Amino acid sequence: MSMDGKIPNGVETLRKISIARVGCTNDLGVIIESQLSLSAYVTALCPSGYYQLRQLRPNIRSLTADTAKTLVQAFITCQLDYCNSLLYGVSNYLLQKVQSVQNAAGTRRCERIAPVLQKLHWLPARRRVEFKLECLVHQSLAGQTASYLASDIQFTSDTSRPQLRSASERICVVPRTRNSFGDRSFSAAGPRVWNALPPHLQEDMNYRHFKHALKGHMFRL
């Protein structure tokens, strides 16, 4: 790694195997660069969303509102939601770029976005990221996710002394981190957003009911 924190391009040799170093890579459709800012991913994501919207608009005008909403969700919203938990902790500038695509999909010119998103029952981009993380934590606690995710989520009751108040609540351990990259990891970000939820949501073990109640809660924030 260079003095400015970047991983330089080039070739490394490990046990006589040449390994090329690159500035960014594509992992399951997510572009990850050496700085882990996800700027390259968002830069590719937004034009793709606008392109899909341009393709849909001529047809949307002849459809019912419900059918048009379904098409937008299938071709644009699902694309914005794909792996969006990775966007936790990224810059406001990048989140605003993602939000602009959602705004364009839901509104016409000169139309206020907040009432439209409320009517469509679409959470804003930042809330969607938090929603995804909270759902992943709920599934991890229920043993419904991969073991490498579930192992990152632990109740304080499993580690605390019985006299601590948090030991009797569904509060998760938030590990100490040394930098912003650690803060964005699932093991730290997941417990942090989970612990901010009201107790009645944390205690709801029915995943389908939890998602419905969580979305309503986030619209009231």
For residue 205, the surrounding DSSP H or E stretch is none
Number of folded domains in the chain?
2
How confident is the model over 62-92, as pLDDT tens digits? Answer: 899 899 999 999 999 999 999 999 999 999 9
How confident is the model over 132-166, as pLDDT tens digits? Answer: 999 999 999 999 999 999 999 999 988 755 555 55
Predicted local distance difference test score (pLDDT) of residue 4: 44
- Using an 8 Å Cβ cutoff, are 83 and 30 in contact? yes
How confident is the model over 166-203, as pLDDT tens digits? Answer: 555 899 999 999 999 999 999 999 999 999 999 999 99
- Out of 97, 122, 147, a domain closes at 122
- Using an 8 Å Cβ cutoff, are 190 and 171 in contact? no
- Using an 8 Å Cβ cutoff, are 41 and 31 in contact? yes
Instruction: Report the predicted TM-score, pTM, of the whole model to 2 decimal places.
Output: 0.87
- What range defines the domain where residue 202 resides? 128-219
- Out of 122, 149, 184, a domain closes at 122
Q: Which of 65, 69, 8, 58 is nearest to 34 (CA)?
A: 8
Cα(221)–Cα(211) distance, rounded to whole angstroms? 16
